[in-house]
């Protein structure tokens, strides 16, 4: 079942709605037409995503909480990339780099919504030149909650001019409950044994590093915060985890398994993307309170951003993020709760 309700008006007087997907066991996911944001995700009566009770706080925050990220998730070095013998200049909004689609990325847009086949379909047209990107990009994101407590997020895009695309969702999870505090009592396993090395600005250098004998090794379940402050260059650069893991295999496959040791909730994520950024909210510093007056300090949620590799347009050897005219971008991520 899907329920629709008015949520509020943006600062530009655009109407925003909240759609809530509910299954027979009582699991429910609320999605806003503003940014395609996952505003709440209740499982066994516990809301496991950070968020806000009103639209104004979503507009004020700059942490991409719960939102669809596009056109290009993660960083593009110096806000520049080459394509078809042309150099494109994007907005720089993260030090010297372009991050998460720019100042007015997909997270700040009001999406058109349709209910179809017990799924929520969101649509947005990104115009040629928006934030510096070439081509008119027609984007669709589909949310579906099944009876096995699996939330699927499907991304589709097509362009009338060759461009780059990398879409993801930026939900902050705390499996012990959104208001639990920090990520203490979280166990994580990642199905990858290498990651893309970062420089001091969290931009990939182009090198792939192994996780063996480093605090990046989550091949077996480990407490998430157990090694986060170790004397390791990669953790120092980002004040914690903010890295892209290379995930084994191709097609729809396991990416990560996480468990809240207090709630007992386990989450598995599957995707068909080449990588996954795990971000432990190291820089979260909100001036406003979250849902039910919750306080969200740094490291109070973890993002698992299934994605193409950061800065892929500028790194030879990274999987291509180019979407050509006449082709369709398609990606799928499954979030399964137990």
The catalytic residues are 170, 305
Judge contact between 321 and 308, C-beta under 8 A.
Answer: yes
Taking CA 190 as the corner, what is the angle to CA 120 and CA 36, rounded to the nearest 5 degrees? 20
Alpha helices in 190-333 (DSSP H): 233-238
DSSP state of 249: S
DSSP for 9-34? Answer: E-TT--EEEEEEEE-TTS-EEEEESB
Residue 178, both tokens: 């959104």
SS3 content of the chain, % helix, strand, coil (to 5): 10, 45, 50
Q: Which residues contact 292 (CB under 8 A, 6 or more apart)?
A: 53, 179
Bridge partners of residue 174, in order along the sequence = none
């Amino acid at each position: 079942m899907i329920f629709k309700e008015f949520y509020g008006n943006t600062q530009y007087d655009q109407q925003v709605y909240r759609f809530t997907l509910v299954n027979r066991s009582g699991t429910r996911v609320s999605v806003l037409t503003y940014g395609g944001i996952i505003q709440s995700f209740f499982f066994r009566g516990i809301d496991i995503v950070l968020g806000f009770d009103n639209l104004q706080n979503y507009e004020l925050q700059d942490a991409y909480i719960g939102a669809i990220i596009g056109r290009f998730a993660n960083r593009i070095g110096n806000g520049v990339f080459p394509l078809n013998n042309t150099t494109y200049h994007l907005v720089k909004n993260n030090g010297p780099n372009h991050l998460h689609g720019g100042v007015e990325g997909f997270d700040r847009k009001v999406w058109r919504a349709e209910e179809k086949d017990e799924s929520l379909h969101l649509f947005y047209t990104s115009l040629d030149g928006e934030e510096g990107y070439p081509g008119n990009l027609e984007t669709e994101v589909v949310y579906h909650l099944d009876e096995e407590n699996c939330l699927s997020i499907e991304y589709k895009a097509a362009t009338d001019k060759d461009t780059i695309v990398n879409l993801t969702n930026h939900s902050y999870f705390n499996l012990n409950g959104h208001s639990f505090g920090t990520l203490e009592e979280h166990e994580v396993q990642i199905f990858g044994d290498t990651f893309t090395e970062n420089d001091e600005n969290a931009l990939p250098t182009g090198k792939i590093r192994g996780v063996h004998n480093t605090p990046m090794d989550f091949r077996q379940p480990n407490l998430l915060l157990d090694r986060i402050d170790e004397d390791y260059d990669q953790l120092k650069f980002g004040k914690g985890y903010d890295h892209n893991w290379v995930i084994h295999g191709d097609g729809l496959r396991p990416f990560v398994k996480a468990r809240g040791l207090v709630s007992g909730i386990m989450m598995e994520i599957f995707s068909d993307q080449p990588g996954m950024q795990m971000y432990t909210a190291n820089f979260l510093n909100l001036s406003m309170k979250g849902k039910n007056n919750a306080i969200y300090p740094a490291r109070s949620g973890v993002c698992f951003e299934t994605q193409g590799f950061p800065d892929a347009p500028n790194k030879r050897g990274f999987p291509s993020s180019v979407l050509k005219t006449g082709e369709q971008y398609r990606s799928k991520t499954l979030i399964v709760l137990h």
